[in-house]
Chain A
């Protein structure tokens, strides 16, 4: 369990750094999948933020000054993401993934509606399940679709009307066929 503690502690420390830059984050990716009942192997922890490139550069500098090995990957014009910071250390890999100027609403809404944290007393907010599904649909691809399918099968009590409304509001396609497939697998 030492590895899990190390990456959670590092993520909590990095979150303090984000707060110092007036930024907030939600846990997304495979750690959020696990929290929402789809436990699969992961070596990294992903934080979703809304930060423009200038903010990401400042944040990367601060992380380096704090002793982290941080590398910023800036987006090009066609990038569906607003940039990614990789932070590596003995704890593993933490990625700060920005949706600024691309899909900021999902992070804003997730931050506002998050009710779960990664562990008791932690400031690491977990993305709510409907918003995690929306992020996966936005990412697209076979793996993300498979993740949505697993989430739907493992959370049968989920308010599907709410998920449909959320994804419709974000103009995301592809949910309906995954709902049908999840139901047929029961």
Chain B
């Protein structure tokens, strides 16, 4: 039976993700292009636009 590595110390050291940073910069550029009013509306309507992310009960 293979021995399980018991130690979280075996995880690689924490590093910043280059791909996540690039995605973040793209998002920042997108927000920069919006007007102040558009940003405010985006924040106030976010829950409705992403309502489909609400968890649903399992049926079985």
Using a CB–CB distance below 8 Å, which chain A residues touch chain B?
1, 3-4, 7-8, 30-31, 33-35, 37, 39-43, 45, 92, 116-120, 126, 153-154, 185
11 A-B contacts, Cβ less than 8 Å apart? Answer: A3-B44, A4-B41, A34-B39, A34-B44, A35-B39, A39-B39, A40-B43, A41-B46, A41-B47, A42-B44, A118-B37
Known contacts A35-B36, A118-B37; is-contact A154 B44 (Cβ 8 Å): no
Q: Collect the chain A residues with CB atoms within 8 Å of residue B16's CB.
A: 185
Are A7 and B37 neighbours in the complex by a CB distance under 8 Å?
Answer: no
**What's the Cα separation between A185 and B28 when bound, in Å?**
13
Are A31 and B47 neighbours in the complex by a CB distance under 8 Å? no
B32 contacts chain A at the CB level, 8 A cutoff: yes
Binding site secondary structure of chain A: mixed
For the complex formed, measure the closest distance between the CB of B20 and the CB atoms of chain A, giving whole angstroms: 10
B26 interface residue per 8 A CB criterion: no
Residues B28 and A4 in contact, CB atoms below 8 Å apart: no
B window 1-53: CB within 8 A of A: 16, 21, 28, 31-32, 36-37, 39-48, 50
Q: How far is the CA of A37 from the CA of B43 in the complex (A)?
A: 10
Partner of B40, one of A43, A92, A118, A154: A118
Is A119 touching B31 in the complex (CB atoms < 8 A)? Answer: no
- Smallest CB gap from B41: residue in A: A4
Give the chain B neighbours of A42 by CB distance below 8 A. Answer: 43-44, 46
Chain A proximity of B52: nearest CB distance (Å): 14
On whether the beta carbons of A31 and B43 are closer than 8 Å, the reply is yes
Q: Are B40 and A37 in contact (CB under 8 A)?
A: no
The residue that A43 contacts in the complex, of B39, B41, B42, B47, with Cβ under 8 A, is B47
A68 to chain B, nearest CB (A): 19
Question: Judging by beta carbons under 8 Å apart, are B28 and A3 in contact?
Answer: no
Complex Cα distance, B42 from A3, in Å, reads 11
Interface pairs A-B: 3 shortest CB-CB? A34-B43, A41-B46, A4-B44
Distance between A5 CB and nearest chain B CB, rounded to angstroms: 8
